[in-house]
Structure 1
Amino acid sequence: MRLTYCMRKHLSKINLLSQIRAQGNLYGFVDEQARHENSKKTVVVEYSSPNIAKPFHMGHLRSTILGHFLSNLYERHGWNVVRLNYLGDWGTQFGLLAMAFKKYGDEKKLEEDPLQHLFEIYVSVNKDVSQDPHKINDEAVETFRKMEEGDSELLAVWERLKDISLNEYEKVYKRLGIEFTEHHSESMYTKAGLAVIEDLKQQGLLRIDKHGRGYVEIQRKGRAVDVVVLKSNGTTLYITRELGALIDRIKRYNFDKIHYVVENGQNLHFEHLHGIMSIMPEFKDRLNEDLHVKFGRIHGMSTRAGNVVFLKDILDEGRNIMMKTLKDKRTTKVTEEEHPEIAEELCRSAMFAQDMGQKRVKSYPFSWERVLNFSQDSGPYLNYCHSRLCGIERNNPWTVQEDVAIDHLLTMKSAEQLCEHLEQYNEAVSKSLTHLEPYVIVKYLYTLCHLVNAAYKKCNVSTAEEQEAQAYLQMFNASRLVLANGMTLLGLRPLEKM
């Protein structure tokens, strides 16, 4: 490693900067041959995946932006990526919701603010559960059984709630800049789940316990564990439908890898899923060890108790703060008409960067101050640096020239350190893919911005002689390209002015 580092340190700066310009947004993402080989592979990334009839809150954000980042990362490495949003829209909880809608639903409130009213209904029915859990849960189980058997009245309610939810979610995804290849839902796989039960029977893997439940025995941490896959009343469970969905995805996408971007609390579920997959022939050669890409929770929020901060409110608050900042700052370079769009992007970048700027398994408590951090080492700081680099190119007469000897002009310590850091981008990208960690890229970009600012003080393009100006301009141009490269990878939009 040390030998490689020493050799790199003496590589020609002109070759490095030329390589960055030539490769553009592919700089740092393996060579063409490796990308060609990767183009034969497919990865499915399942992320976001909220439950219908609930507002999009901060807890959903982590899965959404992490899955978006991983999808970008694989795509840059040449993989075919299926970006999959798997909506939770089935199970006993929706039997509970159907009951709650019948009892607490208000058509006027539903029309005014659909998800807010459904959230209020959800909180109300969970208070009922806390007062008489056995009675309410039994009713929910029975209601869901009727749904699985095709009760038209209940299914009409369910369809309506699903349509309302999808429409509201799309508004949030648009604000976040998130797109998916496909939207699937748990309800698609009821019959597929029952087909899995038949397969398990045929393979002699399904057993029935004394309560009439169907289960499969797997090995977990060196001991036998029973995993229930069928309720005693004959209805499927989440894991059963999950297996049905997996079989469907193999047929649809013939994937080489699949990742579920889901928080730590679901780790046992994925251990059970992994265990069942390991004994079913259908999943041979489809069992990557990093099946579950886990992340920490945002503490201090509970949907059932009503202690939730909705993402829409955070986006609105952050946009308003940035609108005021843009209006008050004398250095603002965008017109007042552009303020809303720029403010929206700065708020989004603040949220993305603060969440991905730490190891994904780390949990943290929710606080408005943390989420809307606009100080140094934040998303807006990255955009400030990018817009400043754009300004260097925009406000100076020199244009980048090819094949100009510049190495001897970039010997100041700040320039040496900046060029050395630019060369290390591919290492950051490689480490990020190996560990499926966005924080590696975030930390790299913060350091890049610090080094750019240090070099800016010493290497002034506008006051330098032509040869020196050309050297500085090439260095700052390459820095802008790498910064934009990394920001786009994270899901941010690099701003040219702010």
Structure 2
Amino acid sequence: MTMPAATLLKQAAAALLAPLTGVGEAELAARLECPPDETLGDLSLPCFALAKTLRRAPAAIASELAAQVNGQEEAPAAEAAGGEADPAPPIRWRAEAAGGFLNLRAAGRGWIEALLRQAESPALGRLEDGAGKRVVIDYSSPNIAKPMSVGHLRSTVIGRALANLHRTAGWDVQTVNHLGDWGTQFGKLIAATKRWGSREAIEADPIGESLRLYVRFHEEAERDPALVDEGRAWFLRLEQGDAEARELWAFFIRESLKEFQRIYGRLGVEFDHLLGESFYNDKMEAAAQRLREAGLLEESDGALVVRLDEQGMPPCLVFKSDGSTIYGTRDLATALYRREAMGGDKLLYVVGAEQTLHFRQVFAVLEKLDPTWEQVEKVHVPFGLMRMEGRKMSTRRGKVVFLDEVLDEAVRRALAVIEAKTPDLPDKEAVAEAVGIGAIVFGDLRSRRMLEIDFSLEEMVSLDGETGPYVQYTYARACSLLRRAAEAGAGAVPAGADGVPAGADGVPAGADGVPAGADAAAAGSGAGTAAPGAEAGAGTGSGAEPGDASGLEALGSPAARACLLKLDAYGEAIRGALREHEPSVLARYLLELAKAFNRFYNSGRILGADGGGETAAKLRLTAACAAVLSHGLGLLGLSAPSRI
């Protein structure tokens, strides 16, 4: 089973309204909206589009539908994800007309049970949108022999999040790191190494020494332009297979990969394929020959191009006037390989916005070469630059901020917070690594990707406000509550929440103003019943098995209701992030869920709230929120420590 195509409540409301309106359920689910004010209801149906077919004014239609809904018995809920064992509980509705809008509010206990089951299901976050299809995602792509700067972060974390989102949507995902391991820069680096480098210095610090030599080459070339020709000559020797040039080139690649893998390991990033630009050296001529045979190559000032006048674009350069290839040639060969050899139904390129025209040209040439390329989804996922003091970072001038140093600083600050608040926390260094790096990753993903970022170390490593650590701390708070519930009574704790001691769940002040250490009031002092597990139908030890309505009325409070409605929107958040190729949609959702849970947490006693039923229901909601927070953080590439 998988999560429904729309929210569970939208599906249920659509099933109720379909026979009353004559409109299909899928279309109705798409028309249903969330009212701008929660006091108006949970869902709202604009009736204006119905006026033509029903031949009545929208306000009259809304009034008639409200009367019909309020006069009906409980309507069956849409099938809950993973709910094969038991039928989905019925959902009752209350309706009210407001002008041309029909406002609906879920009533009774059935909707609460249905939403809790959905969050407790093993199918949480699992979609079928990409079933039977393969996507090849190109991201990160640092240049060999250059350090990974904070500027490389954007493609890396956006691409990794999109890969995770496609996986949970059922796609067969193949990730590719298209390493920058070829080009004239290697001729420059070899020339600099021969002039000013030493084998010992390079072996001691391959990346740092390579950067020093590369920067010096460009500084010296400004005074002695002949150096540029020397660099070109070395690159030509590299292309021709010169043993010395090849040996140095292979050494730079080998040592760079060691450093890259170390940083990728800290970020939790892995790739299915490391295929650098050089991998396509023997494939470009075949791609060019296909263009020749199709009659697409034309001469222009000595160069060979594919004209794109009909597409309103300048020509795509394939061969320069000296006969050498260029990025367009390589990317055409790359795309052909990813479709034909790797079997990609969808090709994703997570590359900076400055390459937008380039990819438009490449995609247009592919479609001119073979019309079946129109059936392949080809997507350039652009993102704004990360600047330093308002300027683009430049490796040539050494104007970069090393990513490793930023990660170290964020982890150092996270550890300082942990030392101050929970000095006895086990594995605190590992937790600080997860929280500090979480701050960096989430800080990039929470904003729309096309926004440019002016690098600020203070902002990037911040642990307060709308940050990854705020969401992580919220998850840890929920785990701590569930752990205390199990210790106070008997029963299971959701996976990952074990080992959390009482009092280790202070949440830093977030956007909702929840103070750290504000847990005692919500936890109470009574002996609560056990926390339910996170598995499907997990009410273990709580006295509230699926279908048992005991205490569910307690979740009708405004704070609990807001949590439930936000849980129901998880599938839509995943689909929205996929549809827009925009991880920030999911990041913003997780912030909203964390705020909603913290408000619920502080709205009243949870442990010892009553003799059992109310506490058990509140613990089920706590476990459901924890499950979604953990799953969503994982999709974005963040760890979810159960203790902070």
> TM-score interval w.r.t. the shorter chain?
over 0.9
Q: 1:332-481 residue pairs with structure 2 within 5 A?
A: 334-335=425-426, 338-396=427-485, 397=489, 398-400=530-532, 401=539, 402-403=545-546, 404-405=548-549, 406-465=551-610, 466-481=612-627
Q: CA deviation at 1:412?
A: 1.4
Contact 2:263 2:404 in 1 (8 A): yes
- How far apart are 1:42 and its partner, in Å? 0.2
1:99 aligns with 2:99: no
Distance 2:250 2:231 in 1: 17
Give the aligned partner of residue 69 of structure 1: 161
1:293 to 371, 381, 385: 381
Of 307, 312, 321, the match for 1:222: 312
> Contact conserved, 2:125 with 2:631, CA < 8 A, in 1?
no
TM-score, normalised on structure 2?
Answer: 0.72
Partner of 1:268: 357
Task: Find out whether 1:306 has 2:398 as its counterpart.
Answer: yes
Does residue 27 in structure 1 map to residue 124 in structure 2? yes
Cα shift at 1:284: 2.3
TM alignment of 1:8-407, pairs within 5 A: 9-10=105-106, 12-23=111-122, 26-30=123-127, 34=128, 38-133=130-225, 135-210=226-301, 212-219=302-309, 222=312, 225-281=314-370, 284-285=373-374, 287-288=376-377, 291-300=379-388, 301-329=393-421, 331=422, 334-335=425-426, 338-396=427-485, 397=489, 398-400=530-532, 401=539, 402-403=545-546, 404-405=548-549, 406-407=551-552
TM-score, L = length of structure 1:
0.93
Of residues 444-453 and 230-239 in structure 1, the stretch that sits farther from structure 2 once superposed is 230-239
Question: Conserved in 2, the CA contact under 8 Å of 1:414 and 1:451?
Answer: yes
Does the CA contact (< 8 Å) of 2:350 and 2:381 recur in 1? yes
Q: Any idea what SS the aligned residue of 1:50 has? A: coil
Is the alpha carbon distance of 1:221 and 1:284 closer, same or farther for their aligned partners in structure 2, counting shifts above 3 Å?
A: closer
In structure 2, the residue corresponding to 1:229 is in which secondary structure?
A: strand
- How far apart, in 1, do the equivalents of 2:481 and 2:310 lie? 58
* Residue 284 to residue 59, structure 1, CA distance change in 2 (3 Å): same
- The structure with the largest helix share of the pair is 1
Question: Aligned equivalents of 2:570 and 2:203: distance in 1?
Answer: 50
Percent sequence identity over matched residues?
A: 33
> Offset at 1:265?
1.4
Taking the aligned partners of 2:381 and 2:585, their CA distance within structure 1 comes to 16
Using the TM superposition, give the Cα deviation of residue 296 of structure 1 relative to its aligned residue in structure 2, in angstroms: 0.5
- Give deviations 1:466-495, integer Å, cap 9, x for gaps: 111011001111000111111011011111
Contact 2:192 2:213 in 1 (8 A): yes
The answer to whether the 8 Å contact 1:95/1:143 transfers is yes
- 1:16 counterpart letter in structure 2: L
**Secondary structure of the corresponding residue to residue 295 of structure 1:** coil
User: How far did 1:164 drift?
Assistant: 0.8
* Distance in 2, Cα, partners of 1:248 & 1:152: 29
Task: Give the partner amino acid of 2:613.
Answer: Q
Deviations, residues 24-60 of structure 1 (Å, cap 9, x unaligned): xx42443xxx35xx33100000000111000111111
Corresponding residue of 2:26? none
Give, in whole Å, the separation in 1 of the partners of 2:433 and 2:561.
36
Deviation at 1:127, TM superposition (A): 1.3
CA apart distance, 1:220: 6.8
**Deviation at 1:185?**
0.9
Which 4+ runs in 1 deviate beyond 6 A? none
* Structure 1 position 315, deviation (Å): 1.3
Is the 1:39–1:78 Cα contact (8 Å) retained in structure 2? yes
Name the aligned partner's letter for residue 197 of structure 1: A
- What is the CA distance between 1:205 and its match in structure 2? 1.4
- CA gap 1:53/1:220 in 2 versus in 1, 3 angstroms: farther
Range 318-327 or range 441-450, more displaced: 318-327
In structure 2, distance between residues paired with 1:112 and 1:155 = 20
**For 1:104 and 1:283, how far apart are their aligned partners in 2?**
52
CA distance in structure 2 between the partners assigned to 1:462 and 1:381 by the alignment: 23
Question: How far is 1:427 from its partner?
Answer: 1.6
Distance in 2, Cα, partners of 1:59 & 1:266:
15
Code of the aligned partner of 1:214: L
Q: 1:62 is matched by which residue type in structure 2?
A: R
Higher relative contact order (CA 8 A, sep 6+): 1
CA contact (8 A) 1:460 1:472 kept: no
1:261 CA displacement: 0.3
For 1:276 and 1:167, the matched residues in 2 are separated by 37
CA contact under 8 A between 1:459 and 1:472: conserved in structure 2? Answer: no
How far the C-alpha of 1:3 sits from its partner, in A, is: 6.4
**Matched residues, number:** 484
Mark the CA change 1:275 to 1:137 in structure 2 (over 3 Å): closer, same or farther: farther
CA deviations 1:205-253 (Å, max 9, x no partner) are 112334x322221237525x22221133332212212211222222222
Tell me, in whole angstroms, the C-alpha distance in 1 between the residues paired with 2:604 and 2:112: 15
CA contact (8 A) 1:74 1:81 kept: yes
2:281 alignment partner, SS class: helix
- Counterpart Cα distance in 1 of 2:307 and 2:222: 33
Alignment-mate amino acid for residue 142 of structure 1: A
Q: Are the equivalent residues in 1 in contact too, given 2:552–2:613 (CA < 8 A)?
A: no
Q: Is the 8 A contact 2:531 2:623 kept in 1?
A: no
| Residue identity matched to 1:145 | L
Q: What letter is aligned with 1:374?
A: L
Which AA in structure 2 matches 1:354? G
Q: Retained in 2: the 8 A contact 1:91–1:237?
A: no
CA contact (8 A) 1:28 1:429 kept: yes
Q: Report the Cα distance in structure 1 between the residues aligned to 2:425 and 2:143, rounded to whole angstroms.
A: 39
Is the contact between residue 110 and residue 117 of structure 1 (CA under 8 Å) also seen in structure 2?
yes
Contact 2:351 2:383 (8 Å CA) reproduced? yes
Q: 1:64 and 1:267 mapped to 2: Cα distance?
A: 18
2:430 & 2:166 partners in 1: Cα distance? Answer: 29
Superposed CA RMSD in Å reads 1.9
Larger deviation, residues 40-49 vs 445-454: 445-454
The secondary structure found in structure 1 opposite 2:275 is strand
Q: Retained in 2: the 8 A contact 1:145–1:235?
A: no
